[in-house]
Amino acid sequence: MKNKLISQLPYQDPFLFVDTIENVSEDFIKGSYTFKASSWFYKGHFKDHPITPGVILTECAAQIGLASLGLFILSQDKNSDLGKIRLAMTSTNIEFLKPVLPDEKVIIEAEKIYFRFNKLKSLVKMFNINGDLILRGDIAGVILI
């Protein structure tokens, strides 16, 4: 099921920011991604000292903590056609605490705050491999069927 979730996401390289889904339930998800040094967004984002842009970190957190979790929740309904689902982020409230460097792996954990009327809101946290908190906040979106 975990690999199927990734394949159902409406993203592809170079805009897919999910490598693994390690744990998922209707209330929680944990996944990871490694930001490759060759990624297009590092060119020019702080010349000679590249860091991952905050908007990309937010997108990574949303792809795991909102899109993947939402797909899993909907997959529990046998009548849902995951191939027809469209996702739209509606709001974010993110606090950035540490930079993410090229070739750094991040772990995202998200808890469902609520899911109703096809709107999902999640509390997301991103950690580095040392367990340091990189970002935290909430992300909401709608799932269009």
45 is catalytic: yes
Rounded to 10 degrees, the C-alpha dihedral 68/71/72/73 comes to: 120
Catalytic residue from among 45, 98, 105, 136: 45
Q: Higher pLDDT residue, 136 or 87?
A: 136
Task: Please compute the mean of the pLDDT values over residues 47-59 and round it to a whole number.
Answer: 94
Confidence label for 91 from pLDDT (cuts 50, 70 and 90): very high
CATH of the domain at 13: 3.10.129.10
Predicted model pTM: 0.93
In sequence order, the 6+-apart residues with CB closer than 8 A to the CB of 11 are 17, 18, 63, 67
Structural domains in the chain (count): 1
Q: Is pLDDT at 77 greater than 80 in this prediction? A: no
Mean pLDDT of 27-53: 93
Domain that holds residue 7: 2-144
pLDDT greater at residue 85 or residue 129: 129
